[in-house]
Amino acid sequence: MIARLVKDLLKEIGEDPHRDGLLKTPERVERMFEFLTSGYGQRVEDVLNEAIFREHYDEIVLVKDIDFYSLCEHHLLPFFGKCHVGYLPDGKIVGLSKLVRLVEMYSRRLQVQERLTCEIADAILKALQPRGVAVIIEAYHLCMMMRGVEKQNSRAITSSMHGLFRDRLETRTEFMQLIQPRNT
């Protein structure tokens, strides 16, 4: 279905979908969209896959610099960057790789950065009921770089803070310090 639409799109922009370089483009684009939107076929429960454990750890758990790629729902152009995910456990922890997989699941949908940030935080809140959750996303948007304002170095930063990360300045400050790049 997508391949047929891409073939029609190529015709509409003045291309010949039968020329050598474009012959297999519709099928490649269809496979690309299946991959880039594969998050629609996943659920939080499946991603966490019974990797929630009882543990009495009470300090910040943080996975930072999680690379992600997503598609802007307004222009179907990529936006990409880094996601930082932290939480303060309240008797339950989750496998660290599952935090990365949550970012991946939600980023593999048509998105706006603001919603992506909140969906990740909300999923962790619901699954773990922690004392706090913090998610920050820093991203570059090709819809701002390639078209529109055409600004190459503009980076969008969004956050979703809950519990102690929202209510306690010291906890928020510790999280912000932990996600800062380190000089090595």
pLDDT string in tens for the chain (184-residue length)? 999 999 999 999 999 999 999 999 999 999 999 999 999 999 999 999 889 999 999 999 999 999 999 999 999 999 999 999 999 999 999 999 999 999 999 999 999 999 999 999 999 999 999 999 999 999 999 999 998 898 888 999 999 999 999 999 999 999 999 999 887 6
Q: What is the set of domains in the chain, with CATH numbers?
A: 2-36 (no CATH), 51-179 (3.30.1130.10)
Q: Which amino acid is at 59?
A: E
Dihedral sign computed on CA atoms, order 76, 110, 94, 155: positive
